[in-house]
Chains A and B, each alone.
Chain A
Amino acid sequence: EAGVAQSPRYKIIEKRQSVAFWCNPISGHATLYWYQQILGQGPKLLIQFQNNGVVDDSQLPKDRFSAERLKGVDSTLKIQPAKLEDSAVYLCASRIQGGTDTQYFGPGTRLTVL
Chain B
Amino acid sequence: AQSVTQPDIHITVSEGASLELRCNYSYGATPYLFWYVQSPGQGLQLLLKYFSGDTLVQGIKGFEAEFKRSQSSFNLRKPSVHWSDAAEYFCAVVTGANNLFFGTGTRLTVIP
A residues neighboring B (CB under 8 Å): 3-4, 33, 40-45, 48, 55-56, 91, 93, 98-100, 102-108
Contacts and interface: CB of A to CB of B under 8 A. Distances in A.
B32 A100 contact: yes
Interface of B: 32, 36, 41-46, 49, 51, 90, 92, 94, 97-105
Contact of B99 (A4, A56, A107, A108): A56
Contacts, number: 51
Chain A facing B: main interface SS: loop
Contacts of B94: 100
Nearest to B4: A42
A3 B42 CA distance: 12
Given A41-B104, A42-B90, A100 B98 contact: yes
Nearest to B101: A45
25 contacts: A33-B99, A40-B104, A42-B92, A42-B102, A42-B104, A42-B105, A43-B44, A43-B90, A43-B100, A44-B102, A45-B99, A48-B97, A55-B97, A56-B97, A91-B44, A93-B44, A98-B98, A99-B98, A100-B32, A100-B94, A100-B98, A102-B46, A105-B45, A106-B43, A107-B41
Nearest to B105: A42
A54 B65 CA distance: 34
A41 B36 CA distance: 14
Kindly name the residue among B36, B42, B44 whose own CB sees the greatest number of chain A CB atoms within 10 A.
B44
A74 B28 CA distance: 35
Given A42-B105, A56-B97, A105 B49 contact: no
Given A56-B97, A100-B51, 8 more contacts: A4-B43, A40-B105, A43-B100, A44-B102, A55-B97, A56-B99, A98-B98, A105-B43
A91 B43 contact: yes
